Amino acid sequence: MKARLLHTTAIRLALRYAVFYALLTGAGLGVLYWATSRYVDAQISAGLENELAVLVKVDRQEGRQRLLAILRQPPMMEGENRRYLLWQSADGQTRVGDLKGWPPGLSADQRVRNIWIEDALIPHQVEDQDGYWPMVATRLDDGSQLLVAQSVRLAENLQEFILTAMGIILLVTVGLTLILGWRMGRQMLERVDLINDTARQIRQGNLSMRVPSSGRNDEFDELAEHLNRMLNYIEQLIRGMQEVTDNVAHDLRRPLSRLRNRLEVTLLEARDEAAYRQTMQDAISDIEGMIRTFNALLEIAQAEAGSYRGEWEAIDLSTLTRDIGTLYKDLLEEQNQQLHLHIEDGITIRGNRHLMAQAISNLLENAHQYAGPDAQIELLLKRQQGQVVITVRDNGPGIPAEQHKRVLQRFTRLDSARSSSGSGLGLSLVSAVAGLHGGSLTLEDNQPGLSISLSIPLSSQHSAPQQG
Could you tell me the fold of the domain covering 309-457? Answer: Heat Shock Protein 90 (3.30.565)
When pLDDT is cut at 50, 70 and 90, the band that residue 393 belongs to is: very high
When pLDDT is cut at 50, 70 and 90, the band that residue 2 belongs to is: low
Q: Is the pLDDT of residue 405 over 80?
A: no
Mean pLDDT of 18-37: 84
Delimit the domains of the chain by residue range: 11-157, 219-303, 309-457
Q: In what order do the strands lie in the sheet with 95-97?
A: 95-97, 83-88, 145-150, 131-139, 113-117
Mean pLDDT of 289-315: 67
The rounded distance, in Å, linking the Cα atoms of 99 and 3 is 65
Judge if the upstream peptide bond of residue 400 is cis by omega within 30 degrees of 0: no
Q: Is the pLDDT of residue 394 over 80?
A: yes
Mean pLDDT of 80-84: 72
Q: What is the 3-state secondary structure (H, E, C) of the chain?
A: CHHHHCCCHHHHHHHHHHHHHHHHHHHHHHHHHHHHHHHHHHHHHHHHHHHHHHHHHHHHHHCHHHHHHHHHCCCCCCHHHCEEEEEECCCCCCEEECCCCCCCCCCCECCCEEEEECHHHCCHHHCCCCEEEEEEEEECCCCCEEEEEECCHHHHHHHHHHHHHHHHHHHHHHHHHHHHHHHHHHHHHHHHHHHHHHHHHHHCCCCCCCCCCCCCCCHHHHHHHHHHHHHHHHHHHHHHHHHHHHHHHHHCHHHHHHHHHHHHHHHHCCCCHHHHHHHHHHHHHHHHHHHHHHHHHHHHHHHHHCCCCCCCEEEEHHHHHHHHHHHHHHHHHHCCCEEEEEECCCCEEEECHHHHHHHHHHHHHHHHHHCCCCCEEEEEEEEECCEEEEEEEECCCCCCHHHCCHHHCCCCCCHHHCCCCCCCCHHHHHHHHHHHCCCEEEEEECCCCEEEEEEEECCCCCCCCCCC
pLDDT in tens, 332-360: 888 788 999 999 999 998 888 888 888 89
The rounded distance, in Å, linking the Cα atoms of 110 and 132 is 17
Give the global pTM: 0.47
Highest mean pLDDT among 155-159, 214-218, 341-345: 341-345
Q: Is the pLDDT of residue 364 over 80?
A: yes
How much is the pLDDT for 52?
Answer: 92
The rounded distance, in Å, linking the Cα atoms of 303 and 296 is 10
Q: Is the pLDDT of residue 44 over 70?
A: yes
When pLDDT is cut at 50, 70 and 90, the band that residue 125 belongs to is: low
